[in-house]
Each structure stands twice: as C-alpha cells, then as structure tokens.
C-alpha cells in the first residue's frame, strides 16, 4: 500500500470531511453520557454527536465489524447498503448502543429517521454510527436535541469538520483528520476523512459484516470518508475494500475487535469527473482514485495506532517468507498481540526471544532453524538482524537496544518457508493502557467501548 518512491498523483490538503465539494458537518454536545450539569464545563462540553451531510445524493460503500455481536447502528447501516443514495451520517460517542436489544434497534433507526426529518431528506438516506460503553440504552431525548442543534450548526469550513472529528472521539487524545486532492481528467477531485479509535482496536471488517475466510479474527473504530468524485456504488465498494484491507484491517492496539467498527464513504459526484471512466476497474482514473483512497485510509489508520490507549511506540511488524498470506498474517498478529512482546517494546528491550516464542505458538508453520528476526528504522532496508536462520547473530546487545530505542521502528521477520508476506501496525502495551482501562466508575470517559 505504500507509495514506493513513485511521485504520488495526489496532494495532501488541509481539512477533512468538508474538503470535498458539497459536504457540511457539525459536532455538538448533547450530554450522551448524561453527565448532568454538575460536571466541570471542560469535560461536560466535549462534543459527542457528529453530523455529516452531503448537499447532493451520494453513492455509498461501507465495511463493518465481523464480530458476531454487532451493535444496532451497524445493523442499520448493513440493512441500508445497496438500497440507494445516502445523504447523511449521524454518529455519537459515549454510548455504543450495543447489546441493547430491541430498544437499541429502535433507537438506532430513530437516530437515522430523526436526522432525515431534521434535514428534510428522503427515508433511508441517513446512516448511523455509535461508539462508547456497551450495554446501555441511548438517552434519545438528548440525541434528538443534539441532532436538531447539529442541523443548525452545519457548515463547510475546516472548523466544522474538526468539530465533527472531535465529536466521535472517546479515549482518543486528539482528532484524526485527513484530506487529499487529485486530478481526474480536467477535474479536481477530493477525498476527506475523519476517524476515531484508541482502544478495542483490531478491526477485521467486511462489507457484509460476515467473516470471509480471508479476514482474520480481530476496535471500536469509526471512519467516515467523503468525496466529490462521481463513481458508481460497486466500484466505490471495490476501492474501499482494497483500501481498508491495507489499512484499518492491518492495525492492532490491544487485539480486541469491537462490536461497532464501521468505515463509510459517501461520493456525491459534484466534482463532475467522468463517472463511467472512474467506475471502470483498472482504468487510469480508478487507479488514481484507489491510490488516493489508500493513502487517506492508511494515514488515518496509522493515526489510530499512534494514539492507541497508553501507546508509547509504533511498531510495524513485517513478516515475510510465509507459506501463505493467511499464515504471514497470523504470524504477524501473534507477535503484534503478544503481551510479552508488547511490554518489551514499551521498555525498549530487543527481546527477540519473545518474538520467536510468539511465532512458535502462532498457527503459521515455522521452522526454528529458518527464522530471521531483525530491526530497522521505519521503512528502512538497513536491517540489524538479531537472529539469522534460528541462530543469534553477533549483533551486540548495545546495538540491538539502540535499534529499538525509538518511538517508531520496524520489526522484520523472515520465516524462510515460503514467499508470502503480511504486515501489521501495532502499539506497545503500557502501564497507562492498564490504568486507563481499569475503568473508573467515577469517570464515565474512562468506560470505553
């Protein structure tokens, strides 16, 4: 997915979901956690409801958690995929609306319907997202009040996008926004996106919410993308599938796959590029669009890992030489989710013994005498090998410590039993992660999804 030295055909621009033509957004505080007014205003007024609206009907594509326990908003989105154009996304933080039974489904549908009514949009044209604590019913009076306020606040400045980006955060420490611009023929096209996610992060999303064999078991993460490209729904879904496979489905913070993971993209066509041209797989236009979308998704996905709960390191685990992609992926995830490997990263300890231990219990076929393990600066091919063909190298402890003493580094594994590879972007495991997730009953912000 990385841009391998080729000049990219897109430029990064300021802003996010309101950067493409014809999109407006808002983020408002409606007290979804029902903090009441007794709480300090700094906390009490963090926005918790986001609204993103397209001025024109948009084609839509989406990917959703493959967790067998799937939140009501995800079910509503799944039911609305492929049923025609969409014009709005309404999303809240502070409550996942998951494991909330029939009331939860009613509430998620009501969020969508109330949004459609408030904005005078056709039935079925609003989608829903939620993130926060599982098992609590939404405070619908607050949600309705929030939607009314958000509809009034809608605007297309970068500030409006920033407020929407703020409103979907839970345990995140910062907003996650991104936009790019590129040319299709003589038209300028933009893609913008916001996302959230800091814990319960190891997405394994599919377009159907069902788990294809190819998608391994693995946050709440939410990502809402907008584009003014003119493209049919089917190629849009194809492009999103590919972009997510190389980005959000390749990250892990804590190995826990959420009930609410959702990625949505709306394409409203206002850029007036050639729709037939862009909708043709492998056309030059499609490849340019795909490259730009890949970049937006990968950048947003990496922001999630860098802002992972308590995270102090960003490690790219690169496994090569596996018998199949599935085995390379399983091996990389075993390493990236091992509590012992993750704590050693936090400590800056080049404990490759824990790495080979995790490889050994992974479902991937490995042969101890063939395994290489090494470290490099991010993206560098200058690898310091600690293990070659199962034998410790002469690399000194000091050199190995130096190699992992950075906030970001790459961990290289070559299994040397095949030709397949996979990589995973992972956070370390820190005291702060534990402290945060112990859950303080007196601090609703700490009760993540």
**Interface positions, 124-183, toward its own copies (CB under 8 A):** 133-136
Rounded to a whole number of angstroms, the minimum distance from the CB of residue 239 to its own copies is 26
Pick the binder of its own copies from 25, 67, 171, 206 (CB under 8 A).
67
Only segment of 56-64, 143-151, 188-196, 255-263 that touches its own copies (CB under 8 A): 255-263
Pick the binder of its own copies from 79, 152, 217, 407 (CB under 8 A).
217
CB atoms inside a 10 Å sphere around CB 407: 13
Site for its own copies in 382-401 (CB under 8 A): 387, 390-392, 397, 401
Rounded to a whole number of angstroms, the minimum distance from the CB of residue 397 to its own copies is 7
Q: Which is nearer to its own copies, 126 or 447 (CB)?
A: 447
Q: Does 444 bind its own copies (CB under 8 A)?
A: no
Pick the binder of its own copies from 338, 376, 414, 420 (CB under 8 A).
338
Which one, of 20, 13, 294, lies nearest residue 180 by Cα?
Answer: 13
Distance separating alpha carbons of residues 39 and 287, to the nearest angstrom: 50
Q: Which neighbouring-strand residues pair with 377?
A: none
The answer to whether 219 touches 427, Cβ cutoff 8 Å, is no
Locus of tokens 């903090």: 35
Locus of tokens 């619908």: 140
Pick the binder of its own copies from 214, 360, 407, 408 (CB under 8 A).
360
The answer to whether 70 touches 131, Cβ cutoff 8 Å, is no
Size of the site for its own copies (CB under 8 A): 73
Rounded to a whole number of angstroms, the minimum distance from the CB of residue 284 to its own copies is 39
Which one, of 199, 181, 70, 216, lies nearest residue 129 by Cα?
Answer: 70
Q: Does 343 bind its own copies (CB under 8 A)?
A: yes
Q: Does 435 bind its own copies (CB under 8 A)?
A: yes
Pick the binder of its own copies from 347, 396, 408, 419 (CB under 8 A).
347
Q: Which neighbouring-strand residues pair with 107?
A: none
Q: Does 117 bind its own copies (CB under 8 A)?
A: no
Rounded to a whole number of angstroms, the minimum distance from the CB of residue 249 to its own copies is 13
Pick the binder of its own copies from 79, 84, 155, 361 (CB under 8 A).
361
Distance separating alpha carbons of residues 98 and 423, to the nearest angstrom: 30
Pick the binder of its own copies from 259, 302, 376, 420 (CB under 8 A).
259
Only segment of 44-52, 85-93, 270-278, 340-348 that touches its own copies (CB under 8 A): 340-348
Pick the binder of its own copies from 63, 74, 128, 200 (CB under 8 A).
200
Beta-strand pair 420-427/251-252: parallel
Q: Which is nearer to its own copies, 2 or 440 (CB)?
A: 440
Locus of tokens 């390493």: 335
The answer to whether 202 touches 165, Cβ cutoff 8 Å, is no
Only segment of 99-107, 181-189, 278-286, 315-323 that touches its own copies (CB under 8 A): 99-107
Site for its own copies in 414-433 (CB under 8 A): 429-431, 433
Beta-strand pair 49-65/391-392: unpaired
Q: Which is nearer to its own copies, 100 or 125 (CB)?
A: 100
Q: Which is nearer to its own copies, 27 or 308 (CB)?
A: 308
Q: How many residues does the chain have?
A: 449
Q: Which is nearer to its own copies, 8 or 79 (CB)?
A: 79
Only segment of 112-120, 148-156, 289-297, 357-365 that touches its own copies (CB under 8 A): 357-365
C-alpha torsion sign, points 231, 232, 235, 240:
positive
What three-state secondary structure class fits 358? helix
User: Torsion angle of alpha carbons 146, 147, 150, 151, nearest 10°?
Assistant: -150
Vertex 21: Cα angle to 18 and 24 (nearest 5)? 40
Q: Which is nearer to its own copies, 119 or 424 (CB)?
A: 424
Helices 140-153/101-119 angle, 10° precision: 20
Pick the binder of its own copies from 123, 159, 368, 408 (CB under 8 A).
368
- Which residues contact residue 67 at a Cβ distance below 8 angstroms, ignoring those fewer than 6 apart? 257, 258, 259, 261
Pick the binder of its own copies from 363, 378, 407, 408 (CB under 8 A).
363
Pick the binder of its own copies from 358, 411, 423, 426 (CB under 8 A).
358
Say how far residue 279 (Cα) sits from the centre of its chain: 25
The question of whether 100 is a catalytic residue gets the answer: no
The answer to whether 344 touches 357, Cβ cutoff 8 Å, is no
Site for its own copies in 8-27 (CB under 8 A): none
CB atoms inside a 10 Å sphere around CB 406: 14
Rounded to a whole number of angstroms, the minimum distance from the CB of residue 245 to its own copies is 18
Catalytic residue among 18, 66, 100, 220: 220
Catalytic amino acids? 220
């Amino acid at each position: 997915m990385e841009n391998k030295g080729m000049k990219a055909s897109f430029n990064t621009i300021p802003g996010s979901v309101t950067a493409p033509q014809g999109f407006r957004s808002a983020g408002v505080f409606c007290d979804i956690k029902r903090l009441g007014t007794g709480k300090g205003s700094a906390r009490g007024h963090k926005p918790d409801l986001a609204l993103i609206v397209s001025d024109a009907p948009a084609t839509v594509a989406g990917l959703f958690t493959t967790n067998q326990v799937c939140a009501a908003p995800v079910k509503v989105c799944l039911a609305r995929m492929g049923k025609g154009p969409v014009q709005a996304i309404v999303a809240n933080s502070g409550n996942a609306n998951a494991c909330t039974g029939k009331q939860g489904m009613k509430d998620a549908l009501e969020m969508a319907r109330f949004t459609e009514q408030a904005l005078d949009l056709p039935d079925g044209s609003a989608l829903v997202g939620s993130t926060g604590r599982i098992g609590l019913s939404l405070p619908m009076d607050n949600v309705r009040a929030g939607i009314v306020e958000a509809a009034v606040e809608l605007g297309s400045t970068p500030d409006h996008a920033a407020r929407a980006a703020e409103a979907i955060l839970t345990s995140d420490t910062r907003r996650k926004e991104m936009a790019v611009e590129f040319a299709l023929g003589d038209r300028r096209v933009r893609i913008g996106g916001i996302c959230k996610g800091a814990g319960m992060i190891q997405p394994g999303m599919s377009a159907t919410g069902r788990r294809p064999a190819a998608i391994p078991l693995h946050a709440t993460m939410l990502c809402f993308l907008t584009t003014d490209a003119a493209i049919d729904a089917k190629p849009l879904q194809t492009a999103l599938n590919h972009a997510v496979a190389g980005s959000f489905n390749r990250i892990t913070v804590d190995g826990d796959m959420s009930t609410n993971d959702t990625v949505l993209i709306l394409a409203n066509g206002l850029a007036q590029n050639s729709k037939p041209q862009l909708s043709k797989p492998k056309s030059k236009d499609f490849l340019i669009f795909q490259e730009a979308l890949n970049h937006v998704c990968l950048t947003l996905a990496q922001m999630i890992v860098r802002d992972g709960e308590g995270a102090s390191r960003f490690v790219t685990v690169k496994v090569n030489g596996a018998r199949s992609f599935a085995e390379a992926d399983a091996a990389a995830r075993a390493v990236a989710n091992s509590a012992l490997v993750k704590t050693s990263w936090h400590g800056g300890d080049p404990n490759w013994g824990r790495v080979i231990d995790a490889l050994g219990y992974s479902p991937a076929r490995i042969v101890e005498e063939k395994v290489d393990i090494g470290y490099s600066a991010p993206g560098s091919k200058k690898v310091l090998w600690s293990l070659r063909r199962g034998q410790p190298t002469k690399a000194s402890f000091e050199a190995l410590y130096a190699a992992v003493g950075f906030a970001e580094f790459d961990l290289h594994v070559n299994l040397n039993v095949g030709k397949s590879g996979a990589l995973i972007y992972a956070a370390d495991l820190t005291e702060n992660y534990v402290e945060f997730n112990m859950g303080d009953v007196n601090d609703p912000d700490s009760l993540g999804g």
